[in-house]
Amino acid sequence: NAGVTQTPKFRVLKTGQSMTLLCAQDMNHEYMYWYRQDPGMGLRLIHYSVGEGTTAKGEVPDGYNVSRLKKQNFLLGLESAAPSQTSVYFCASSYEGYGYTFGSGTRLTVV
């Protein structure tokens, strides 16, 4: 099935460890996004990209970095994980804001 694929689906990290979440889309969408979802707070935008080689900060960017070296991939990095980064992470892509397709999410626990 075409769409947005996130890897991994689950991960447990120790405080201070680093990791990269990978998002891949095969719909040729220009826009890609990383959100985090916490109870009672909906989805909050971490970083986004409006095209290959571009990135921009969202609502909650601190502690995260991103890269969009290829149009179909959007990577989210945590350099030094903290317990406050325990969350469910969603990647999404869109065609000029008309339709947004989401990945199935990554549940990250930082202990």
Partner 1 sequence: AQTVTQSQPEMSVQEAETVTLSCTYDTSENNYYLFWYKQPPSRQMILVIRQEAYKQQNATENRFSVNFQKAAKSFSLKISDSQLGDTAMYFCAHPNFGNEKLTFGTGTRLTIIP
Rg for the chain, CA atoms, rounded: 13
Residue 21 near partner 1 by CB under 8 A: no
Bridge-based pairing of strands 43-49 and 19-25 is unpaired
Of 63, 56, 60, the C-alpha closest to 41 is 60
| The one segment of 17-25, 62-70, 71-79, 98-106 that binds partner 1 by CB under 8 A | 98-106
Closer CB to partner 1, residue 17 or residue 52?
A: 52
Residue 97 near partner 1 by CB under 8 A: yes
Residue 105 near partner 1 by CB under 8 A: yes
Number of H helices, E strands in the chain: 0, 11
Q: Which of 33, 64, 74, 89 binds partner 1 (CB under 8 A)?
A: 33
